[in-house]
Structure 1
Amino acid sequence: MIRNKSLGKRLLAAGIMLIFSMSGCGTDNEIELTGNGIGSDGIEAAATVDSAEVTAAGETALDVAGGDAASTGTAEDTNKTAPTPAPTPRQELTTADRMTDRTKVKGIYVTGPKAGSTGMEDLIGLVDETELNAMVIDVKNDEGNVTFRLTNEEITQNIPVLDQISEMQAGVRYIRDIQALMQELKDHNIYTIARIVCFKDPILAAARPELALTKPDGKPVTDANGLAWVNPYRQEVWEYLTELAEMAADLGFDEIQYDYVRFPVGSDANVADYGVDMDAYPKRQAIQDFLAYAGDRLHEKGCVVTADVFGTIIGSETDVQTVGQDYMALGQTVDAISPMVYPSHYANGVFGLKVPDANPYETVLAAMQGSVEELQEIPEAERAVVRPWLQAFTATWVPGHISYNGTQIREQIQAVYDAGYEEWILWNATNRYSAEGLLGADEVEDNENNQ
């Protein structure tokens, strides 16, 4: 495994702040956030957020990052300027160093229940028989559940976070023997990626109310499905997410993928009190700092860090302001970045397409060309690998949608290649995948030679 000495935090200056309007139409430069709730961190319906309680005793991420706003302050009662990050030494290994010899991912998403069922054998067989070579497996899911139960008595090394998982009753035995599963996947040469949902976590919010986002009446802020969010500024949340990732690395996962690594959306979320001066320490900086914080620790274990982001943040400053995901900045922070470029997630008319969902090749190609343009100024050695999520489901709710089968999947994959990228992951929330649209294992080498 590749080892790396401690990285300095890569703190990047915040960009120009624009006024956000959720009702704006999507264009090539300013794409509307859609609300269908599908996909790896698909946007849910607008939740209401009025305030975020922060205890005086608790630390915020701003304290860790060196900012000077009080942990209990608000934009109204503080008058501070944004902290200027101190120069940090360059990391010993570049992103290119860490990623060069790793698998060029062609993967599928797998839920905890599927990973622990007999159906997992079918998915392993599909990987064996096709060009697929990787699985993104839920370690902590959208409900805050850790998808297996494990105790320190069952393993040779001590993993402190296991005690916290047990205390919160967060563990669910979807996967009955995680160690046996990891060994089986290694035996089949399957590259393993641990998906960890970040700031949407109803279990952590209930167990640690001081970390939850709450309304003025004291009730937790929830999404359309009733799932609570925790505060992305809080160091305690960062630490929990980092320790979960370290556990996954210790169990043998090759890579950590953080999902829902963003702020909640909704009309009230824009005015919520997160306990910091958000002019001094904007959302985008907090997200970058968390990923750098986790990356420092995980690189020590030879594990790389990736992040799922909205495809709509590419070329849209308004979306960046809303969710805190800055595509260019994150392209210099993580080892790989996975924009969700599902055609169904783009509003009709975006990219000049009447119905993007009905034009999978054109939509993905335009999105990926936007990615190339936005990241081109980053030196190649420091630039994250781009590995988009692709649509492997039919979006029946989209007016003018088409059915997605092997043809549409292959068109999206080809668009990724035509944009100059080499990796991709397929998303289907129910894990219904087939070989249709995928190359056979014996065809892979010939196809790579022809790209």
Structure 2
Amino acid sequence: MKKWMAAGLLLLALTGCTRYEPAREMTVPEQTEDSGPEEESFEPEEPIVLYTEPIREPVKVKGIYVSAYVAGTESLMDEIIAQIDATELNAVVIDVKDDEGRITFQMDSPVVSQIGACRLYIQDMPSLMAKLKEHDIYPIARVVAFRDPYLAEKKPEWSLHKADGSICRDRQGLAWVDPYKKEVWDYLVEVGRMAGEAGFKEIQFDYIRFAVDRTMRDVVYNEEDTLGRTKTQAVMEFTEYASEALKEEGLFVSADVFGAIIKSQEDAEAVGQDYGAMAEKLDYICPMIYPSHYGPGNFGIQYPDTQPYDTVYQALLGSRECLDGLGEGAAVRPWLQDFTASYLEHYIPYGDEEVRQQIQAVQDAGYEEWILWDAGVSYHYGGLSAGEE
């Protein structure tokens, strides 16, 4: 879900809700003695609906990430649902458009069909959605945005290019699509709409940013696409564009952002993410505040990964400070770490206790929602509270 990030970010590539009123109804008033002569009256069998607006019912999410492979494997998904039923968990974030740019279930979208983007990890989405509904589990669609090597290769005119016209790739050899291009925005919105039609209640965009690898310094942007806009303006305009379009469909909209951008203008400008501005347009903003993503000395903590409570607590105090005074805006729903960052020089094994400490830090910082991340979908359920009886 995430990548190592330049500009001082030590990162690994792992990866306020608006409510609508119900339709107003118009009925014909009853005739009374003082109403004057009765010409002709009628009683409609049903109210006449003047207009309708989608009703969105917010959920305070305590969730986990689930890969499309696991979601599409009935036995594995049944095990996860059993754990959700037994704990405080109530939501799952499932890959709909994954890190490779592949669509994970049958989706009859023009661009998806044209480029053959479907890889059917989830063969029977209606059955999966029915089971999640039966267990009162809130489904969130993860849509990886601008890191899309599949789309970039299939539609090179939408990808990032070097001065010689060749496709520019990151350190892993993966191509990205151009965040300035309106065609890419429309594709992402269409995928979100189709996910909503499949039963998802929320669209969560990941990699809603620019690439920061050194190799990407060679990118040459087309002035016809940039129109003089900065990276931050491009990401902000896409955020607003996608949010408006998908909210009209009755969907909630969220986005994953780097935790480091909360207090670092340099990091924010590098990736094009403005925490406060994005929060004003989204329903939920999801900072990735994994302790392993902070370098030595952050928040005055020698090795943040070894102090999960302190790191998460300080990161969320920064979030509160950044959003203070903005009024109605996105609810903050942080991503928490449920994996061991053994690639670090100074780390600790993460288990039940480390998960519980992070959740406690979220609560102590005044927030109520969170999501756990583990790319292998192997969670420490012992660190979670029991479900309601």
Query: What range describes the TM-score normalised by the shorter chain of this pair?
Result: 0.7 to 0.9
Q: Using the alignment, how far apart are the partners of 2:260 and 2:12 within structure 1?
A: 14
Matched, 1:125 2:82: yes
Question: Which aligned segments of 4 or more residues in structure 1 are displaced greater than 6 angstroms?
Answer: none
The residue aligned with 2:102 is 145
Task: Give deviations 1:76-116, integer Å, cap 9, x for gaps.
Answer: xxxxxxxxxxxxxxxxxx84436994110000001111111
Q: Is the 8 A contact 2:87 2:387 kept in 1?
A: yes
How far does residue 224 in structure 1 lie from its aligned partner after superposition? 2.8
The residue aligned with 2:349 is 403
The residue aligned with 1:309 is 257
The residue aligned with 2:382 is 436
How far does residue 223 in structure 1 lie from its aligned partner after superposition? 2.4
Give the 3-state SS of the residue equivalent to 1:309 in structure 2.
strand
Give the 3-state SS of the residue equivalent to 1:441 in structure 2.
coil
The residue aligned with 1:276 is 223
The residue aligned with 1:109 is 65
Give the 3-state SS of the residue equivalent to 1:173 in structure 2.
coil
Give the 3-state SS of the residue equivalent to 1:404 in structure 2.
coil
Structure 2 residue corresponding to 1:246, chosen from 163, 176, 193: 193
How far does residue 254 in structure 1 lie from its aligned partner after superposition? 0.7
The residue aligned with 1:197 is 144
Gapped regions of structure 1 (runs ≥ 5)? 1-20, 24-31, 41-93, 152-160, 444-451
The residue aligned with 2:308 is 360
Q: Using the alignment, how far apart are the partners of 1:22 and 1:312 within structure 2?
A: 11
1:38-117 alignment to 2 at 5 Å? 38=14, 40=15, 95-97=17-19, 101-117=57-73
How far does residue 400 in structure 1 lie from its aligned partner after superposition? 1.6
Q: Is the 8 A contact 1:270 1:322 kept in 2?
A: no
How far does residue 268 in structure 1 lie from its aligned partner after superposition? 4.7
The residue aligned with 1:170 is 117
Larger Rg: 2
Give the 3-state SS of the residue equivalent to 2:223 in structure 1.
coil
How far does residue 206 in structure 1 lie from its aligned partner after superposition? 1.6
Give the 3-state SS of the residue equivalent to 1:148 in structure 2.
coil
Task: Give deviations 1:194-219, integer Å, cap 9, x for gaps.
Answer: 00000011121122111111234443
Matched, 1:424 2:375: no
Task: Give deviations 1:103-150, integer Å, cap 9, x for gaps.
Answer: 100000011111111211111111111000000000000100001124
Give the 3-state SS of the residue equivalent to 1:238 in structure 2.
helix
Matched, 1:136 2:93: yes
Moved more, 138-147 or 179-188: 179-188
Task: Give deviations 1:291-343, integer Å, cap 9, x for gaps.
Answer: 11111111111101100000000110001110000001111011100000000
Give the 3-state SS of the residue equivalent to 1:124 in structure 2.
helix
Tell me the percent identity: 47
Q: Using the alignment, how far apart are the partners of 1:356 and 1:195 within structure 2?
A: 27
Task: Sort the Cα spacing of 1:279 and 1:301 in 2 relative to 1 into closer, same or farther, 3 A.
Answer: closer
Q: Using the alignment, how far apart are the partners of 1:188 and 1:182 within structure 2?
A: 10
Q: Using the alignment, how far apart are the partners of 1:213 and 1:369 within structure 2?
A: 36
Corresponding pairs, count: 349
Q: What is the identity, as a one-letter code, of the residue corresponding to 2:139?
A: T
Q: What is the identity, as a one-letter code, of the residue corresponding to 2:332?
A: V
Q: Could you tell me the TM-score, scaled by structure 2's length?
A: 0.86
Q: Using the alignment, how far apart are the partners of 2:135 and 2:87 within structure 1?
A: 13
The residue aligned with 1:318 is 266
Give the 3-state SS of the residue equivalent to 1:337 in structure 2.
strand
Structure 2 residue corresponding to 1:264, chosen from 189, 205, 211: 211
Q: Which has the higher contact order (CA 8 A, sep 6+)?
A: 1
Task: Sort the Cα spacing of 1:22 and 1:208 in 2 relative to 1 into closer, same or farther, 3 A.
Answer: closer
Q: Using the alignment, how far apart are the partners of 1:401 and 1:434 within structure 2?
A: 18
Task: Sort the Cα spacing of 1:279 and 1:266 in 2 relative to 1 into closer, same or farther, 3 A.
Answer: farther
Q: Is the 8 A contact 2:280 2:330 kept in 1?
A: yes
Q: Is the 8 A contact 2:168 2:218 kept in 1?
A: no
Q: Is the 8 A contact 2:11 2:294 kept in 1?
A: no
Q: Using the alignment, how far apart are the partners of 1:22 and 1:208 within structure 2?
A: 27
The residue aligned with 1:255 is 202
Q: Using the alignment, how far apart are the partners of 2:139 and 2:251 within structure 1?
A: 11
Q: What is the identity, as a one-letter code, of the residue corresponding to 2:60?
A: K
Q: What is the identity, as a one-letter code, of the residue corresponding to 2:106?
A: R
Task: Give deviations 1:244-276, integer Å, cap 9, x for gaps.
Answer: 000011111010000000000023535632213
